[in-house]
Chain A
Amino acid sequence: MSVSLRQSMAWIHGWLGLLAGWLLFAMFLTGTASYFRPEITRWMQPESRVPAVSTERAAATAIAYLQRTGADDLQWYVFLPDARRPTTEIFPVPKPDAAKTASRPDEIELDPATGRPVTARETRGGEQFYRFHFQLQLPHPWGRWLAGLCAMFMLGTILSGVITHKRIFADFFTLRWNKGQRSWLDAHNVSAVLALPYHAMITYTGLITLVTMYMPWPILANYKQPAEFAQIAFSQPADRAATGKRVGLTPIAPLIADAGHRLGAPVSRIIVHHPNDQAATITLAQGTGTTINARGPSVTYDGATGRWLEQSGTGSTALATAGVMLGLHLAQYAGPALRWAYFAMGLTGVAMVGTGLLLWTAKRRRPGAAPFFGLRLVERLNIAVIVGLPIGMASYLLANRLIPAMQPGRADAEVATMFWAWGLVALVQLVRPARRAWREGFALAALVFTAIPLADALTTTRGLPGSLLGGDTLFAAFDLAMLAIAALFAFAAWRTGRVPAPRRRRAAPSAPSLSETLHA
C-alpha cells in the first residue's frame, strides 16, 4: 500500500503541529517580544535615567569599579552601553577557592558616567521573556532540550506543510472571511505562506543558536580536546595560566581606541582574564549591533603591558555562516525599522501557530454532534495558551508597576505573577462554555493590557501624556503598543461574540462541505 507524499505529509503536518503547537505558540510570542528586550527592561525601570557617555569613559569607570570590588577575581566580563542599553553590565567571576563575598551579586548594572551601581527597582525586565523563549522556565538543561525538540517539530511542520501545498502562490491572495473552517484554513495559509522565508529562517537559525548543545558529535570526531573547537568558534583567546606575580592592569581607554581602529567598529565587550596578574589578558570584542554576524572578531592584549597579542577570526566559512545565522535570529544588528519588521513577522508566526491550532478543532467539529474528548481537550488547551499566555505576560508588566519599587524579592514576585495569572486563566476558563471562555478571555486580556499604561501614568512620572509631549519616545511607543494590543484583543472579543449566528445557519444544510478534505 503506497501513500502519496502529499497525503502522508498532510497527516504528519497535523500531528507535529498539534503536539508542539502550544509550546511553539509560547515560544513565538515570547520570542517576538524579545526583539525589544532592552526596551522592555528600560520601561520596567522607569526611575533609571543615565546619561550617554563615550565608550572609553564607560570602560574606564567599569574597570575602576571592578578594581575596587574584585581586584583578585578570576575573570571580568563587561558589556558596554550602546544606543539601546544605556547602562554598563558587569559579570565578575571570582576564583573558585575565593571566600564568598556575601553582598556582591553575579551581575551588576553600572551608571557609565560615575561607575556606581544603578539604583532602580529590581526586575528581570525583558530578560524574562527572552529566557522563557528558549528555556521555558524549566531547570537547565531540560528547558533547552524541550525548546529544541519543539523547534525540530516546527522544522518538520514547515517542510511537510510546503510539500502538502498544491498552490502556494495562489494562497498569497486567498482569504475568505466568515466561512468557518475555510476561513481558518485561509488565515493559516496566509500567515504561514506570506512570511514563509521568515518562519523557515527563524526556526533553523533558532536550532543553530544551541547547535553545540544539540549536536556536539561532529566536534568529538575531529578534536581530541573539544575546548579547542569552542576556542576557535567563539573567538576566545588562547588560555594563559596565572603566574601569581602581581602586576597592575594597564589603562583600558587607549586599548579601546586601538581596538576600535583594528576592528573597524566600536568595542562593546571587555573580557579580562586574571586581572592584576602578570599573565593578565584583555580581550575586546566588536558589538553585535554593528554586523549581521553575531560572533564578531575580537582583539586580545597583554593585560600588564598593553601589548597587542592576537586577533581572532579564522576566516572559516562554516563558522561565519553559523555566526550570521545566529545574528539573523537575534536581530541585534537590526535598526528600528527592520526590528519592527521582525516584530511583525514574529506576529505572523504567532498567528500561523494559533490559526493552525484553531483549525485542528474547526476541522473536527460536527454540527449537532457532541464534541469528543480529544476535541474538548485541544479546545481547552487552545484557550489556556492563546488567551492565557498574553494575560500572563501583561500581568508581569502590570506587576512591575503595582509591586512597590523597594520591596525585597520583587523581581521574583513579578515572575510569579506572570505564571499565577496564566494558571488561573487556564483553570477558570474550564467552568465556562468554550465560546464564552474565548470571548471573556479576550475581553480580560484587553482590560489587562489597557491597565498597563494606566498604571504607568498613575505610579510613575513617565505616563503616556507626559512622554508624548516630552518626546520620551521609548515610553510613548511602549504605552501605545500596549493600547494597540488591547484594541486587538477587544476586537477579537467582539468578533467571537458576533460570529456564531451566521455560521450556524450556513453550516447546517451543507454539512458535507465541512468534511471536505483540507488540502484537496
Chain B
Amino acid sequence: MFMERGHPAPSPSPARRHVRPIVWAMAARSVTALVGGYAAAAVLATLAARLLPVDRVEATGWAMILSFLTYAAIGLWCFHEPRLARVAGFVWGVALLGGAALWWLGVRP
C-alpha cells in the first residue's frame, strides 16, 4: 500500500481522487503506531512487572528499562505489516486485553 514511495511529487491526475483513502489509512496507521504502540508497550511492560516471579524492585526496573525497545519494535511493525486491520487489531487488542487483565490483577500484594 505504500509502494508509491519515491514519487513524492504526484502529477495532478485522476490518481488524485484516490489520495484521500490512502491518507486516512496512513493517519490511522500512524495513530495506531504512536498511541496504540505506546499503550501496548506500556501494558506489556506493566504485565511483565506485575507477573514476573522476582523481587518487585527488579521486575519494575527491568520492565521499565526494556519498555522502549518493545515500543520501538511495535511501532516499526505497524509500518511493515501491509494489512491495516491486522495492525490495528493486534495493537489495540493487546492494549485493551492487557489493560483489562491488569485491572483484574490489581496492585501486587
| A residues at B contact (CB < 8 Å) | 1-3, 5, 8-9, 11-12, 14, 152, 155-156, 159-160, 204, 207-208, 211-212, 214-215, 217-224, 229, 232-233, 314, 316-319, 321-322, 325, 364, 372, 374-375, 515, 517
Is A229 a contact of B76 with CB atoms below 8 Å?
no
Is A218 a contact of B82 with CB atoms below 8 Å?
no
Collect the chain A residues with CB atoms within 8 Å of residue B9's CB: 364, 372, 374-375
Query: Which of A5, A155, A215 contacts B42 (CB under 8 A)?
Result: A215
Number of B positions contacting A (CB below 8 A): 41
Instruction: Decide yes or no: A204 and B68 within 8 Å by CB, A222-B50, A318-B61, A374-B8 being known contacts.
Output: yes
B80 in the interface (beta carbon within 8 A): yes
B91 in the interface (beta carbon within 8 A): no
Q: How far is it, in angstroms, between the C-alpha of A215 and the C-alpha of B107 when the chains are bound? A: 16
Is B57 a contact of A316 with CB atoms below 8 Å?
yes
Chain A-chain B contacts (Cβ-Cβ < 8 Å), number: 129
B48 to chain A, nearest CB (A): 8
Known interface pairs A8-B79, A219-B49, A222-B60; 18 further A-B residue pairs with C-beta atoms within 8 A, sorted by A's residue number? A1-B1, A8-B2, A9-B76, A152-B72, A155-B68, A204-B69, A208-B65, A211-B65, A215-B67, A218-B46, A218-B49, A221-B50, A221-B60, A221-B105, A221-B108, A223-B107, A318-B58, A517-B6
Q: What is the interface of chain A mostly: helix, strand, loop, or mixed?
A: helix
Q: How far is it, in angstroms, between the C-alpha of A220 and the C-alpha of B57 when the chains are bound? A: 12
Collect the chain A residues with CB atoms within 8 Å of residue B67's CB: 211, 215, 218
Query: Which of B76, B80, B107 contacts A221 (CB under 8 A)?
Result: B107
Is A152 a contact of B57 with CB atoms below 8 Å?
no
Is B2 a contact of A11 with CB atoms below 8 Å?
yes
Collect the chain B residues with CB atoms within 8 Å of residue A224's CB: 107
Closest 3 pairs (CB-CB, A-B): A318-B61, A218-B49, A221-B50
| B residues at A contact (CB < 8 Å) | 1-3, 5-6, 8-9, 42-43, 45-50, 55-65, 67-69, 71-73, 75-76, 79-80, 82, 102, 105, 107-108
Collect the chain A residues with CB atoms within 8 Å of residue B50's CB: 218, 221-222
Is B49 a contact of A222 with CB atoms below 8 Å?
yes
B73 to chain A, nearest CB (A): 8
Is A314 a contact of B68 with CB atoms below 8 Å?
no
Q: How far is it, in angstroms, between the C-alpha of A156 and the C-alpha of B75 when the chains are bound? A: 8
Interface centre among B42, B47, B61, B102 (most CB of A within 10 A): B61
Is A319 a contact of B57 with CB atoms below 8 Å?
yes
Is A220 a contact of B82 with CB atoms below 8 Å?
no
Is A217 a contact of B46 with CB atoms below 8 Å?
yes
Collect the chain B residues with CB atoms within 8 Å of residue A155's CB: 68-69, 72
